[in-house]
A and B are shown apart, each in its own frame.
Chain A
Amino acid sequence: MSEKKKKLAIIASKADIAGAYPPLILATTAASMDYEVGIFCTFFGLNLLKKKKLNKLKITPAGETNMPMPIPQIIGILPGMTDMATMMMRSWMKGAGVAKLQELMDISIESGVRLIACQMTMDVMKIKRKQLIDECEVAGAATFLEFATGADITIYI
């Protein structure tokens, strides 16, 4: 009965739409499979923990060479192109019945996923504690390593 829980440790360092989904999809699914889950959010990954930010994340077509945009790649750097790509991506996602990032975050919180904000990158990027959701904790590398020790799966995104 008291079988040891499997453990998933994730480092999330990105926050464009394509980078924000994998940590939250894996975290919620693992939690639904009775894993203990922790996400360490560092650099741009901190955006996952910002209040009211998740549904505003974008994607840029610049450098995303395989994004099927009806424009030449170089145009991707022009003003407005990021918003256009973001709009397209959101409409594809909606059409495919993909969950919103906020819904995945709500399920993560509800299922007890441990959310850790990286203190060092908060300082670097001048992010204040009160800009982040109450449900996360603020800590450093040692805290993540202590959590990830003995994890069955560790992923860097």
Chain B
Amino acid sequence: MSDFKISKTLDAKNLSCPLPILRTKKAIEDIKIGEFIEILATDPGSVADFNAWTAATGHELIDKSEESGIYRFIIKRTK
């Protein structure tokens, strides 16, 4: 379905604001520019927050989906 390869998965399930974002900030530094990180979260607020965070930082929110209460975000490191 897509041509990107996930370089790292961050499990942020059962964490509340702002931890999914803070952990993502840290984890994205472990991948190279141009690579993709996958984040799994259960905080419903994270949907809006990952939109805002990527808008502010310039990293690219490539995809978001939800399945049985687990949100999955794919973010491309851009810098």
Contact = CB atoms under 8 A, between A and B. Distances in A.
A binds B: yes
Interface size class, chain B = 10 to 19
Interface stretch (B1-9, B10-18, B30-38, B70-78): B10-18
Dominant SS among interface residues on chain B: helix
B18 A28 contact: yes
A123 to B, nearest CB: 34
Interface of B: 14-19, 21-22, 24-25, 43, 52-53, 56-57
Interface size class of A (residues with CB under 8 A): 10 to 19
B16, B17, B18, B19 — most chain A CB neighbours (10 Å) = B18
B22 A34 contact: no
Nearest to A32: B25
A28 B62 CA distance: 24
Contact of A33 (B14, B16, B57): B57
A29 B22 contact: yes
B16 A32 contact: no
A33 B25 CA distance: 8
